Each structure stands twice: as C-alpha cells, then as structure tokens.
Amino acid sequence: MIELDAPTLLVTSTLVQWLFATLLLMERRQEPGIDGWALSLVLHGVANMVLYARPMVPPFFGIMFYNACVMTAFSISHWAIGRIFSRCVPWWQLVLPVLVSVVLMAWHLDDIGQRVVFFSLIVGIQLLFVSGTITKSEKDGGLRLKRWLAMIVCGFGIAFLSRSLLSYFYPHLFTQFLGTSLLQAGFIMVGIAYFVVSTLAIFLFKLERLNEKLQREATRDSLTGLLNRRAFTQRAKAALAGDDYPISVLMIDIDDFKKINDSFGHSLGDKVLVHCACIFEQVIGDQGIVGRLGGEEFAVMLPHCGTAEAQLLCRQILSRISNSYTEHDMTLSTSIGVTVTKQALCIDRLLTQADDALYRAKHEGKNTFMVFEPMTRTLPIPQDDLPASH
C-alpha cells in the first residue's frame, strides 16, 4: 500500500506533470501557448525532484534552485496562458515574482517558516494575476470554459494566500516538507489538482475554440467574414417561417468589378470586396442579415422592412459606397435590386425577384436601385433621388 506522505506525493506530482507535458507536446504543439504550458509542467516536475532530494543536496542550492525553478515555471505558465487566450501579459508580472522570490529566499535562507510564508504569498499573487489575464482576455470563443478556468485559478490562488497566512501563525504545520503531515500532504495534492484541472480546462478550451472556428468556417465567407450562401439561405428561411413581415430582400452587385480585377489586380479586388462588405454591415447593422453569395454579389434580408424603409437603406448604401474609395483614383459604385413580400415565399423566389430588379438597375446605368413589383414590372427609381455619380 502506497503511504500518503510528502515524498510519495512529490514523485506522483512529477510523473503527472511530465505525462501531461508529453501529451500536450504530442497532440497540440503547434497551438499558441501550449509549448510554454508544457515547459512550465516540466520545470515544476524538476522542482519537485529537487525538493525530494533536499537532504542530499547543499542547502543553498536546494533552496534557491527550487524556489527559482517554481517561480519561473509559474511565470512561464502565465505567459503561456496569455498566448492561449490572446492576451498580452505585462512583463513585470512575469519577471518581478521571480526576482522577489530569489531575494527573499536568500534573505531568509535559515528561516524555513518565513520562506514558506513568502513562497505561498508570491505563488498566490501569481495565480491571481493568471486569473486576471484569463478574465480580461479576448471574447473569441470558449467563454464558459474561460470563466470556469478563471474561477479555478483564482480559487487556487486564494488557497495559497491562505496557506501563507496559516504558515505565518502556525509555522510548525508547514515546515516539515518531507514529513508525513496530513496538512502538508494535502497541499501537495492541491498542487497536483491544480495542474490536472488547469491542463484539462486548457485542452477543452482549445477543442471548444477549434469547434467554433470550424463552425465559423462552415457558415462564413473566408474573405469578408459575412454569411456564406448556405448560411444566408438558412437564416433567411428561418426568418420567412416567422411573422416578421413585411420582409425586404436586396441583391447588391459591385459595378464593373471585373474591370477592377483586370486593371488593378485581384489583390486590390479582394480589398474592394472587404471594404464594401464592411459598409453593408455598417449600414444594415442589426436591422437584417448580410451575406456574400459569390463573386461580387451580396444579399441582404430585412425583416419588418417595407418598401420605403428598403429604399432608404439602398440610398444610404449607394451614397456610402460611391463616396468611400479613392485608392488608385478609383470610384466605386453598386447596383441594387429590391423585392418586398408581405406573405410567405421561398427564399429562392425572392432572390430571383431581387436579381431581376438588379438586372434592370444594371441596364438603367448602374449606381442605382430598382424595386421589383409583382405582377407588373420593375420600376426605375428617379435619378434625382440618387447620389451624384463621380
């Protein structure tokens, strides 16, 4: 039967940390921050072995190397967390704990009680810094796991701060590193739990963010970030199945886009697409959904939007586009086809109607919009209502 004492737990902790480091490097080495987290696990394992061998090494080396190794490992793990969660960590939060630890350990080389107090205090503060980094990180996915990890790290930080306080008033409970104190063994087990839970949470966060990335790639246009054709169609069908009528559908086409590509190159053409997509999103906002159907063709669905409101948005789009791009002395313009329905129609039919109106807008001279009128014809918009062409 394995005895629940500090030496046994130190060896167990080392094996767990090195195992996790190996698995992370094998499975996720290319992910940002994973290499740093694995390195911190390796350093913690090395520190454990130094602590285990404390009776066999010179006191100065054992004490100074162990504490410097642990503080460096926590700083590296903090840096890794910053990379994993796309957050820049202030340099002083990484360097200062290591320097302060070295100075304090050297100052209290012969006072193990004070060393335990300061060691626990610095580690607790470091963990609170890590929790803050996670909390302030970009909102780019895995929010639920980020909150859990931040709370877990904060909890362990509070545990170490509590240990610092307890060891200040009851130093005899924490000064027998290699003894069989149940409390001492308990804190080593807390350390094991921290690395196991944190590593698993990071791994799950990576998987969740990967799933969100795959979901985004499946529903978003890779160039503009707008909904792709399939996702736009699905969202439009859902809107048509509700009671958000009247519903307007716009088909938007960038005028003379082929000439732009031929004259200025596809790189500039891509910039134009992204530029126009941004304007469409800014004008439409939360009023509807915007998608890129392919090439220079875009679509917009506007729930609770009648003909007058749709025309107003079209004028805003035409004005914003025609007055927005001056690179290479190039003036942009768009043509728009509009259809409005007050009853349930399939999205394909509405897109066909809007496309018919778009065709007429192109035929009428571009930089304009047309409204599709069922059972009659497409009606041109008076030129006096349009922004001046350049």
Q: What are the pLDDT digits (tens) for 341-369?
A: 998 889 999 999 999 999 999 998 889 99
Q: Which residues contact 309 (CB under 8 A, 6 or more apart)?
A: 248, 302
| Sheet (strand 379-380) strand order | 289-294, 297-302, 247-254, 334-341, 369-371, 379-380
Residue 246: cis peptide before it, omega within 30 degrees of 0: yes
For position 175, what pLDDT does the model report? 63
Kindly state the helix (H) or strand (E) to which residue 249 belongs, with its residue range. strand 247-254
Q: Give the rounded distance of the alpha carbon of 241 from its chain centre.
A: 33
Kindly state the helix (H) or strand (E) to which residue 292 belongs, with its residue range. strand 289-294
Q: Is the pLDDT of residue 139 over 60?
A: no
For position 389, what pLDDT does the model report? 43
> Would you mind telling me the total number of residues written for the chain in this entry?
390
3-state secondary structure of 261: helix
How many angstroms separate the Cα of 371 from the Cα of each of 225, 304, 354?
Answer: 27, 17, 8
Check: CB of residue 140 under 8 Å from CB of residue 134.
Answer: no
For the chain, the average pLDDT equals 85
| Catalytic site includes residue 296 | yes
Of 180, 276, 146, 287, whose CA–CA distance to 221 is shortest? 276
Check: CB of residue 260 under 8 Å from CB of residue 361.
Answer: no
Query: What b/e string do you get for 10-37 counting C-beta neighbours within 10 Å, with b at 16 or more?
Result: beebbebbbebbeebbeebeebebbbbb
DSSP codes joined into one string, 46-94 = HHHHHHHTGGGS-HHHHHHHHHHHHHHHHHHHHHHHHHHTT-PPPHHHH
Highest mean pLDDT out of 180-194, 203-217, 241-255? 241-255
Dihedral class, residue 267 (left if φ above 0, else alpha if ψ from -120 to 50, else beta): alpha
Could you give phi then psi for residue 330, rounded to 5 degrees?
Answer: -105, 135
Q: Would you identify the CATH topology of the domain 229-385?
A: Alpha-Beta Plaits (3.30.70)
Active-site pick, 217, 296, 309, 327:
296
For position 376, what pLDDT does the model report? 44
Q: What percent of the chain has pLDDT over 70?
A: 87
Mean local confidence (pLDDT), 329-339: 90
In whole angstroms, give the CA distance from residue 149 to residue 196: 12
How many angstroms separate the Cα of 100 from the Cα of each of 106, 122, 125, 168?
Answer: 10, 8, 12, 18
pLDDT confidence of 330, banded at 50, 70, 90? confident
Could you give phi then psi for residue 161, rounded to 5 degrees?
Answer: -65, -40
Report DSSP state, residue 285. Answer: G
